Amino acid sequence: DVKVTQSSRYLVKRTGEKVFLECVQDMDHENMFWYRQDPGLGLRLIYFSYDVKMKEKGDIPEGYSVSREKKERFSLILESASTNQTSMYLCASSWDSGNTIYFGEGSWLTVV
């Protein structure tokens, strides 16, 4: 069974803290993605990666960075968390070919 695992389901962080959201997939997928979900806005792409150490900005990269040192792991970093980053974050992965995209269970982040 394909698995995309997000390290934390619920986090509460303080404004200004550095926050790491980790995502691991076990299917040797080339592509990995971080989305943010907000009511009325759907899911929006923050960053994606198509190979180790390769990353591309999505639609809303401001305030975020990412790291992909190993193929199976894609980390989302909030350098200095702010209250407007309170949201649900979803990681996804896929092979380069085909149309199947696998999602993690989501991480609810609250910044206070």
Partner 1 sequence: AQKITQTQPGMFVQEKEAVTLDCTYDTSDPSYGLFWYKQPSSGEMIFLIYQGSYDQQNATEGRYSLNFQKARKSANLVISASQLGDSAMYFCAMSGGYNKLIFGAGTRLAVHP
Q: How far is the CB of 17 from partner 1 (least distance, A)?
A: 23
Q: How far is the CB of 21 from partner 1 (least distance, A)?
A: 14
Nearer of residues 14 and 96 to partner 1, judged by Cβ: 96
Nearer of residues 10 and 83 to partner 1, judged by Cβ: 10
Nearer of residues 59 and 79 to partner 1, judged by Cβ: 59
How is 17-84 classified by DSSP, letter by letter? --EEEEEEESS--SEEEEEEEETTTEEEEEEEEEETTEEEE-S--TT-EEEEEETTEEEEEESS--GG
What is the binding site for partner 1 (CB under 8 A)?
31, 33, 35, 40-45, 48, 50, 56, 58, 88, 90, 92, 94, 96, 99-101, 103-106, 108
